[in-house]
Amino acid sequence: MTVRAVCVFCGSSTGTDPAFREAAVRLGTRLAERDLALVYGGASVGLMGALADAALAAGGHATGVITEALAGHEIAHGNLHDLHVVHTMHERKALMAELSDAFVMLPGGFGTFEEFMESVTWAQLGIHEKRCGILNVAGYYDGLLGFLHHAVKQGFVKRRQVEGIVVRAEVEELIDAIAGTAGRGRAA
């Protein structure tokens, strides 16, 4: 599958480690430089805002998808090429998936986890064949990755499903892996 647009799930806050924001900025910039469109949650704050601002500053295309309820709370980004305001979270996720060719998870909270895991589940069920990647900034997802391997050992998740998730610590390596220019997979 040719990757033209990458959906990025990430926090509406910046977290405590400056490396999280730096990674969001680097990812947004590199996506634009590689002519990969950004699809994300549509907010102007936190990692979401930093990601979109960087993509736009580098001349990239950015599309946001946000619910009516979150548009005020997460402060919808006003400078995007496209901003889709939808009614429900289900509509939000479905449209983000429709507009994207791959999924990436940056640091974030429950919403980020849930959105990414749904994308992984859809791949497992054969609903899509899009690559799912984790940017493991400063080891943020080490605990989650350990738990996924625990779930394999306990018989609830198949090893190939975990190994199908692209995990990288560096932005450029992750983009190469999800865009098909480097090896796929390797859950750390």
- Domain assignment present for 136: yes
- For residue 97, tell me if it sits in a domain: yes
b/e map 50-84, b = 16+ CB within 10 Å = bbbbbbbeeebbbbbbbbeebbeebbbbeebeebb
Domain enclosing residue 108, as ranges: 5-178
The pLDDT of residue 71: 84
Token pair 């950004």 is found at 38
137, part of any domain: yes
Six token digits for residue 154: 């306990």
Total tally of structural domains belonging to the chain: 1
Burial class (CB in 10 A: 0-12, 13-18, 19+), 7: buried
pTM, entire model: 0.93
Q: Is residue 32 part of a domain?
A: yes
Q: Assign 157 a pLDDT band (cuts: 50, 70, 90).
A: very high
The string of pLDDT tens digits covering residues 91-144 is 999 999 999 999 999 999 999 999 999 999 999 999 999 999 999 999 999 999
Which residues on adjacent β-strands are paired with residue 135? 168
Whether 57 maps to a domain, the answer reads: yes
Residue 149 within a domain: yes
CATH code for the domain in which residue 152 is found:
3.40.50.450
